[in-house]
Amino acid sequence: GSLERRRCLYLHRGRAWCQMVEVLLAALILVCSSVSCGSAGGYTGLPALGGIYYYQYGGAYSGFSGADGERAQQLDQRFYLLKLPIARAAMAVGGCLLVFPCVLILVGVLRVPWHFPAWLLIECTLYTVIAVGTVPALYYFLHSLLSVYNSSVCKEREQLYQSKGYQGFWCSLHGAEIAAGLLGCMAAMAYLISAGLAVRDYRTLHEQKQKPLQL
């Protein structure tokens, strides 16, 4: 009926569109963070894995043997453990940022702001706090990753792989981590826009409440 149509109309509002963009950005941050974490990796003896593995990965790690193989495995595991807390923290933040706009979309569809206009001011405050908090969170994320890449473990790992002719093990930020940082900046901008839209909608709703006969 008319109530369902009013609820669906919220999804056509600017605030709802901005919230859906926030959902998309949070999902991408979550994916990039999981890619940053990656797998435990490590050198594994190819004879134990069989010919299919060797064919699929093009003879990966075939240049390692004996002590070098064991050292590569140790360095991979230590490097993975160094990055794991950072990646988990980023994934946790991405998950929270994914849930938050979903909840606000549900609140808007249920027309809570219409019955309780002060909610829009609360929403504005939450968005502002999250947008401001995103800045130190991004700094911590990138600074922690750079600390890992500047560690002796990463440097030794890089040199060991380069000595065997392998590329792609450089001690620098890779694409997924840079993308996570850029997506975080975009998310912070979207939160500020949503905060402004919440204030605008509050003023509009307040004016409508003051003129009930015109509705």
- Write b or e for each residue in 173-206: b if 16 or more Cβ atoms lie within 10 A of its Cβ, otherwise e: beebbebbbebbebbbebbbbbbbbbbebbeeee
pLDDT of residue 65: 67
Average pLDDT of every residue of the chain: 81
Q: Is residue 215 assigned to a domain? A: no
Q: Is residue 7 assigned to a domain? A: yes
Q: What is the mean pLDDT of the segment spanning 48-76? A: 57
Domain count, the chain: 1
Q: What is the mean pLDDT of the segment spanning 64-81? A: 80
Q: Is residue 165 assigned to a domain? A: yes
Q: What is the mean pLDDT of the segment spanning 194-213? A: 82
Domain that holds residue 182: 2-210
Q: Is residue 130 assigned to a domain? A: yes
